[in-house]
Amino acid sequence: MRKIYVFDTTLRDGEQSPGVNLNTREKVEIAHQLEKLGVDRIEAGFPAASPGDLAAVNAVARAVKNATIIGLSRSRQQDIDAVREALQGAQDPCLHLFLATSPIHRQYKLRMDKQQVLENAEAAIRYAKKYFSKIEFSAEDAGRTELDFLCEVTAMAIRAGATVINIPDTVGYLSPYEYGNIFKTLKEQVPGIENVQLSAHCHDDLGMATVNALAAIMNGADQIEGTINGIGERAGNTAIEEVAMALETRQDFFGAKTSLVLSEIARTSRLVSKLTGMVVPGNKAIVGANAFAHESGIHQDGMLKEKTTYEIMSPETIGLKESKLVLGKHSGRHAFREKLIDLGFDLEDELLNQTFAKFKVLADKKKDVTDEDLLALLEEKLVDTPEVFKLEAIYVSYSNESIPSAKVRILTAAGDIIEEEAEGNGSVDAIYNAIDRASTEEVTLSDYSIKSVSHGKDALGEVHVVLSQNDVAVQGRGLSTDILEASARAYVDALNQLIEKRKTFSKRDRVSL
Ligand SMILES: CC(=O)SCCNC(=O)CCNC(=O)[C@H](O)C(C)(C)COP(=O)(O)OP(=O)(O)OC[C@H]1O[C@@H](n2cnc3c(N)ncnc32)[C@H](O)[C@@H]1OP(=O)(O)O
Ligand SMILES: CC(C)C(=O)C(=O)O
Ligand SMILES: [Mg+2]
């Protein structure tokens, strides 16, 4: 199988992401992880950028033993000398030289004509060749460079001694067809091209960085350059994990492979995200939190029956434990039952259906239904007290400038609907006074507590109350994403418990008589 070399530039182009700044310790930590991931080449930084980056590149060069270490340099002697200094101690050093070749960059940025670009690049490569056996030359903005001039630049770089020729689509402008065609043309037309490696370096401005890298591979590229999580200048670079997994998953189509240790992908992604502070979007391919998560019932059902129905690769391949079936409002009974079994509850069909109905009501209110939410729902369902009173609705009126009031609508076991209103010294007190009126029970609230069962601002609130009547005390519990509703439910639950307990006492009394 054809090998595709992986050139990781997380520490250089990745660090060019606005807001990202990696210190020496962080660069070394990421470099060690990249080594474990098995990347072939690590671009550790741009030594001429600052003394700190020079020192960081040097620390990486000394620390890493199993990858080529690269430093970036403009086509200028002082930059090349900075890379020489930075790569001291590297087992396998490589200089990365670049000069822009496109008409826009030539005219406005470099203020050079074609001839000057050729001469400057050649002089830099020849100077560098005295110190480096491995030199990669990049024709910056190759994507917008006249193809015949790009061939000329490439031929010059090969003659001057470059060992890798990189074709950057610096501004992420090209379509896969156009980008692939550059590689095909260079392969066909440039003398000596067979003696060097061709490299693809893409940016994601139009969301085509990965597909362009793949197009380059299909047209003869030997190496892809990219970053972990696709971080980098503007919209970022090709995400290495995406190319590696595309090649792995579609070997039948691409017929090429990287030598990455794929099971290190998830760990590397997490580390880079942590140290750069760049959060990985949930829907990011391969490494996003949702990449192996399924929320909708039909997909979950398919997954439970056969994973390949909805997964083209396995989470284990990239070092994750397993796929996730996330319960939410789109989930179905199959996944719900499976989740409850995982939590240790194998419910009979009827109870399952009742709990499922409650779960759907909760899922309408919450983004994610967590294990804690489910346990709370289950506890409520498993302890089944007959509902003499059922809370149908509450309305609360609160302002800090008036007395809080509440109205409740309660359905009785006999089928009557009772509506009552009351005021109180707070919203909860007003609700409880209204429920007292509706139930006509005379009870004392001896305890009230509230806690959050799950996390986040849409977490379930759980209210516990203790009601007493004569010598009998009962507890009630209510759950809701709204604490006033949870409070009302807990109170009504306690009233039902109280009535149930009273019945048990009176039966016992009759027996003893
Ligand atoms: C596509 C890419 O990712 S390229 C890499 C981009 N990365 C970075 O720029 C990060 C590190 N850069 C830096 O720290 C600074 O830009 C430095 C230290 C390299 C240079 O800083 P300064 O000397 O202040 O120059 P400044 O950045 O303002 O301008 C760049 C100069 O380099 C020239 N230049 C740009 N690319 C090249 C090149 N490949 N070869 C030679 N000269 C170049 C520009 O034309 C400009 O020259 P001028 O001063 O004669 O007009
Ligand atoms: C330095 C070069 C290779 C680069 O990052 C680009 O052109 O995008
Ligand atoms: Mg780049």
Overall average pLDDT of the 325-349 stretch: 93
When pLDDT is averaged across residues 54-69 and rounded to a whole number, the result is: 98
Separation CA 171–CA 235 (nearest Å)? 9
Whole-prediction pTM value?
Answer: 0.81
pLDDT band at 381 (very low <50, low <70, confident <90, very high): low
- Same domain, yes or no: 374 and 416: no
Task: Choose one of 109, 204, 225 to mutate for the ligand 1 pocket test, by most ligand atoms within 8 angstroms of C-beta.
Answer: 109
Cβ of 233 closer than 6 Å to ligand 1, yes or no, is yes
Report CA(18)–ligand 3 centroid distance (Å). 13
Q: How far is CA 299 from CA 255, 307, 311, 326, in A?
A: 30, 9, 10, 11
**Are 375 and 402 members of one domain?**
no
Helices assigned H by DSSP within 310-370: 333-342, 349-365
Q: Which of 498, 427, 440 is nearest to 467 (CA)?
A: 498
Overall average pLDDT of the 66-90 stretch? 98
**Is residue 513 very low, low, confident or very high in pLDDT (cuts 50, 70, 90)?**
very low
CA distance 326 to 309: 17
CATH of the domain at 495: 3.30.160.270
Which residue owns the Cα nearest ligand 2 atom 1?
Answer: 98
What one-character-per-residue DSSP string does 390-414 give? EEEEEEEE--TTS--EEEEEEEETT
Neighbouring C-alpha atoms within 13 Å toward the C-beta of 433: 15
Establish whether 290 is an annotated binding residue. no
168 lines ligand 2 (CB under 6 A): yes
Q: Are residues 227 and 236 in contact, defined by beta-carbon separation less than 8 angstroms? A: yes
| 451 assigned to some structural domain | yes
pLDDT band at 509 (very low <50, low <70, confident <90, very high): very low
First to last CA, the chain: 90
- Tokens of residue 341, six digits: 């079994």
Q: Are residues 484 and 449 in the same domain?
A: yes
251 and 149 co-located in one domain: yes
The long-range contacts involving 431-436, CB below 8 angstroms and separated by at least 24 positions, are 431/394, 431/396, 431/406, 431/484, 431/487, 431/488, 431/491, 432/487, 432/491, 433/406, 434/394, 434/406, 434/407, 434/408, 435/389, 435/391, 435/408, 435/410, 435/488, 435/491, 435/492, 435/495
Does 356 contact ligand 2 (Cβ within 6 A)?
A: no
Instruction: Please identify, among 242, 276, 310, the residue that sits at the C-terminal boundary of a domain.
Output: 276
Overall number of domains in the chain:
3
Is 220 found in the same domain as 103? yes
What is the distance in A from the centroid of ligand 2 to the CA of 239? 15
What CATH number is associated with residue 231?
3.20.20.70
Nearest protein CA to atom 49 of ligand 1, as residue: 110
Q: Does 509 appear as a known binding residue? A: no
Pocket test for ligand 2, best of 140, 145, 199 (most atoms within 8 A of CB): 140
Greatest mean pLDDT range, 242-246, 496-500, 506-510 = 242-246
Per the listing, tokens 């992604």 go with 269
Whether residue 368 sits in one domain with residue 228: no
Tokens of 181: 């065609």
Looking at the fold, whether 158 and 298 belong to one and the same domain comes out as no
Ligand 2 centre to CA of 434 (Å) is 70
Would 281 be classed as within a structural domain?
A: no
- Is 13 a known ligand-binding residue? yes
How far apart CA 16 and CA 199 sit, in angstroms, is 20
Q: What is the mean pLDDT of residues 405-413?
A: 97
Sign of CA dihedral 312, 314, 317, 323: positive
**Quick one: average pLDDT of 343-351?**
90
Ligand at minimal distance from the CA of 99 is 1
199 within ligand 2 shell (Cβ under 6 A): no
Ligand 1 close to Cβ of residue 48 (< 6 A): yes
Is the Cβ atom of 138 under 6 angstroms away from ligand 2?
Answer: yes
359 and 477 inside one domain: no
User: Residue 473: its pLDDT value, please?
Assistant: 85
Higher-scoring residue by pLDDT: 413, 371: 413
Identify the domain boundary among 382, 405, 430.
382
511 falls within a domain: no
pLDDT, tens only, 145-187: 999 999 999 999 999 999 999 999 999 999 999 999 999 999 9
Strands 461-469 and 472-480: antiparallel
Query: Domain range for residue 394?
Result: 389-504
Instruction: Name the residue with the closest Cα to ligand 1, atom 25.
Output: 49
**Which pLDDT score is estimated for 362?**
84
219 shares its domain with 306: no
- Do both 367 and 398 map to the same domain? no
Ligand 2 atom nearest to CA at 225: 3
Alpha carbon of 45 to ligand 2 centroid (Å): 12
Domain C-terminal end among 248, 276, 304: 276
In a domain, 399, yes or no: yes
Looking at the fold, whether 433 and 350 belong to one and the same domain comes out as: no
Based on the fold, state whether residues 461 and 493 are members of the same structural domain. Answer: yes
- Residue count of the chain: 513
**φ and ψ at 18, to 5 degrees?**
-50, 130
Structure tokens at 37: 């991931």
Is the Cβ–Cβ distance between 169 and 212 less than 8 Å?
yes
The response to whether residue 76 sits with its C-beta less than 6 Å from ligand 1 reads: yes
- Residue 294, marked binder: no
Closest C-alpha among 271, 279, 272 to residue 10: 272
Q: Which of 277-286, 376-385, 501-510 has the highest mean pLDDT?
A: 277-286
Q: Would the pLDDT of 508 be above 60?
A: no
Instruction: Note the helical H segments in 140-249.
Output: 147-160, 176-189, 209-218, 240-249
Type and span of the H or E element at 463: strand 461-469
**Cα torsion 52, 53, 56, 58: sign:** negative
